Amino acid sequence: MNWKELYQERLTSAEEALKHIPDGGRVVTGHAVGEPAYLMTVMAENKEWFHNVEVCHMVSLGKDEYCQEGMEGHFHHNALFVGANTKKAVNDGRGDYTPCFFYEIPRLFESELPVDVALIMVTPPDENGKVSLGVSVDYTKDAAKNAKIVIAQVNDQMPYTYGDSFMDVSEIDYFVEHSAPLPELKPAVLGDVEKAIGANCASLIKDGDTLQLGIGAIPDAVLLCLKDKKNLGIHSEMFSDGVVELVEAGVVNGSAKQLLPGKMVANFLMGTKRLYDFVDHNKDVAMYPADYTNDPVVVAKNDHIICINSCVQVDLMGQACSESVGLKQISGVGGQVDFVRGASMAAHGISILAFPSTAAHGKISKIVPFLDEGAAVTTSRNDIDYVITEYGIAPLKGKTLRQRAKLLISIAHPDFRPGLIAEFEKRFHCTYEA
């Protein structure tokens, strides 16, 4: 049977395909913009067909009807990263969070987290009978490779990407055709604080560096400050519209990269239609699974890699919590530690944690004497490199506890410095001198 006949034979409705999810089984769904929202909606609409099904994923951008109130007994969420839509379910007990480095997630599906059914979203097959996983290769490819059953939403609006993003039609058990626009994340609105942080981060970036950046106001602010740089490269877990602008301005070309020169490397993509159009059939964009992009050893092959991430709070020793407010899980480690460690191992690598000095409209300092009770240490004090706020840059690597505390106080919001200084003087039995 050729691939076209196989595809036709395996083409079915969402309802028919989803009936193969076993009671008590584990379903892994595609990530972020690559989430097969249609399949997940149909699954939740027919909740009475399913009993004690675990639904496992990282960020989701759909409605996540399956983990709303009233779904108990039918579905339970296992979060590998807590997102805006799943936060309530996890904190209300309809879900659980599994701590895990992003680069290890693909391997979890080979062993600790066996997959019964993978729900993924793919492009229509190309002339060779290959589908592309488009904007979500990350853990999605390995979840599918290890699943007993693979159900794919075939979306002709999914961009066709290159790299290690392909699956053969024969590797997918059921195809459900459903065209839908991808979710779009609009660029963040930048205030003076974000712009100052962006400028501080950009002051550490040199021509020819390779960048890892996340999504949101701070990465956008950093990218805005890079318009005069040359020959920058991208090796990241994800990138967004800000990178497209720098490619079009001739700033990002990857010419100085040691690993995959000329290629923008990522494992997932999130942004607007402009980004999705840019990556579609673009051979300069190389999408790989997270156990490659995020493996610290692979990250370290990029000399001069600069990794910029954010956190919830940092204590005076330089321990950073990036995923919970106290015990309340609000996100996950994601790829933060993968890149922090990769940058440490790279020749001339730098990792930066950048964040506004305060949260809650200035009421809470993000630089604190102690992390909140119950807060997870995401990036340890041994791993931390540079901390940046709108007030400056604190280079912590190789510094004593006393030096770290002093540097961190110098970039805290002035309103909170007296309290931090009092803690400094108590802890180190000495007078604080700026």
In order of 166, 187, 190, 258, 360, the CA distances from 218 in angstroms are: 32, 11, 8, 26, 17
Nearer to ligand COA, 313 or 344 (CB): 313
Q: Look up 177 and say whether it is catalytic.
A: no
Per CB under 6 A, contacts with ligand COA among 176-215 are 214
Q: Give the range of 89-97, 110-118, 311-319, 408-416 binding ligand COA by CB under 6 A.
A: 311-319
Of the residues 366, 404, 406, 417, which one makes contact with ligand COA according to CB under 6 A: 366
Nearest-5° Cα angle at 230, 226 to 232: 75
Q: Is 60 in the site for ligand COA (CB under 6 A)?
A: no
Per CB under 6 A, contacts with ligand COA among 383-412 are none
Q: Give the range of 43-51, 150-158, 291-299, 330-338 binding ligand COA by CB under 6 A.
A: 330-338
In angstroms, the CA 357 to CA 352 distance is 14
Take residue 270 and report the two structure tokens written for it.
């999130």
Contact status, residue 245 vs residue 223, Cβ threshold 8 Å:
yes
Of the residues 119, 154, 311, 409, which one makes contact with ligand COA according to CB under 6 A: 311
Nearer to ligand COA, 47 or 328 (CB): 328
Q: Is 318 in the site for ligand COA (CB under 6 A)?
A: no
Q: Shortest distance, CB of residue 307 to ligand COA, whole angstroms?
A: 9
Take residue 220 and report the two structure tokens written for it.
């956008």
84, 155, 137, 11: CA torsion to nearest 10? 120
Binding mask 92-131 for ligand COA (x = CB under 6 A): ----------------------------------------
Of the residues 312, 384, 396, 407, which one makes contact with ligand COA according to CB under 6 A: 312
Number of residues this chain uses to bind ligand COA (CB under 6 A): 21
In order of 5, 97, 332, 349, 383, the CA distances from 100 in angstroms are: 40, 9, 8, 23, 17
Q: Is 241 in the site for ligand COA (CB under 6 A)?
A: no
Nearer to ligand COA, 136 or 146 (CB): 136
Q: Is 266 in the site for ligand COA (CB under 6 A)?
A: no
Of the residues 185, 199, 259, 364, which one makes contact with ligand COA according to CB under 6 A: 364
Contact status, residue 135 vs residue 34, Cβ threshold 8 Å:
yes
Contact status, residue 7 vs residue 177, Cβ threshold 8 Å:
no
Annotated catalytic residue: which of 237, 245, 390, 423? 237
Q: Is 351 in the site for ligand COA (CB under 6 A)?
A: no
Q: Which helix (H) or strand (E) holds 347?
A: none
Q: Shortest distance, CB of residue 364 to ligand COA, whole angstroms?
A: 5
Take residue 26 and report the two structure tokens written for it.
């584990």
The torsion angles phi and psi of 223, rounded to 5 degrees, stand at -60, -35
Q: Which residues contact 257 (CB under 8 A, 6 or more apart)?
A: 210, 233, 235, 263, 302
Q: Shortest distance, CB of residue 168 to ligand COA, whole angstroms?
A: 30
Q: Is 132 in the site for ligand COA (CB under 6 A)?
A: no
Contact status, residue 338 vs residue 295, Cβ threshold 8 Å:
yes
Q: Shortest distance, CB of residue 325 to ligand COA, whole angstroms?
A: 4
List the beta bridge partners of residue 120.
Answer: 152
In angstroms, the CA 134 to CA 180 distance is 14
Nearer to ligand COA, 125 or 335 (CB): 335
Nearer to ligand COA, 180 or 364 (CB): 364
Write the Ramachandran bin of 397: left for phi over 0, alpha for psi from -120 to 50, otherwise beta.
Answer: beta
Residues that bind ligand COA (CB under 6 A): 214, 216, 237-238, 309-313, 322-323, 325, 330-331, 334-336, 359-360, 364, 366
Please list the active-site residues.
237
